[in-house]
Amino acid sequence: MARYTGPKVRLSRRVGVPIEDNPKHTSKRQLTPPGIHGFRGRRLRDYGVRLQEKQKLRFHYHVLERQMRRYVDRAKSGAGNTGDLLLQLLERRLDNVVRRSGLSRTIWQARQLVAHGHVLVNGRKTDRPSFEVKVGDVITLKPKIQKNIRETMETMSGHEVPGWIDVNPGELTVRITALPTPDQVPFGVNMNLIVEFYR
């Protein structure tokens, strides 16, 4: 299936949790199941529970199923907890780093910034949202987009930047100071169920 381009709030309604920290997604009215009366079906079985947990993660990071499977395979082959490694790989995506640093409101806006070539990593234009940042990388923006980003940052005054990212709002630069840990991810998901889903 191709990338989803429909209403984004419907994704939050489908999985029952807000996938973005945005009033559209977080209002209680928006978390009813999709459809005119909401879905009033049976209780989910084990497979359905695991599938829904996996979909939460996919929708939050805006990745396709094939990409998700690749990330899971990489996490399984690494040394350590598979769930923690999977979260770390997803957190280090360039579009996610732009979102977490407060340069954009949503993951979709962050993807657009990157795909349109406005983001530089260590001084080089990087237009792949899935680009994996490393410790020590410095992310900057092209001059022509900086005015818009400053306006966006002003509207997000209460945004909290995780500890593994160092943001300089004056120069609009972002430095990766450490690898992300699961407790620094502001999105609740049961990684054990997701790892079990891909067994």
- The DSSP bridge partners found for residue 165 are 176
Alpha carbons within 13 angstroms on the beta-carbon side of residue 46 total 4
- CA dihedral over 168, 174, 175, 181, signed as positive or negative: positive
- What is the reported pTM? 0.86
Neighbour count for residue 153 (Cβ, 10 Å)? 18
- List, in sequence order, every beta strand (DSSP E) within the chain: 119-121, 124-125, 138-141, 165-168, 173-176
Domains of the chain, by residue range, sit at: 9-90+192-197, 94-178
Per-position pLDDT tens, the chain of length 199: 467 888 888 887 788 787 777 666 666 665 666 666 666 666 778 898 899 899 989 998 999 999 999 999 999 998 888 999 999 999 999 999 999 998 998 899 999 999 999 999 999 999 999 999 999 999 999 999 999 999 988 888 778 888 899 999 888 999 999 999 888 888 888 889 999 998 8
Q: Into which CATH architecture does domain 94-178 fall?
A: Roll (3.10)
Fold of 9-90+192-197: Ribosomal Protein S4 Delta 41; Chain A, domain 1 (1.10.1050)
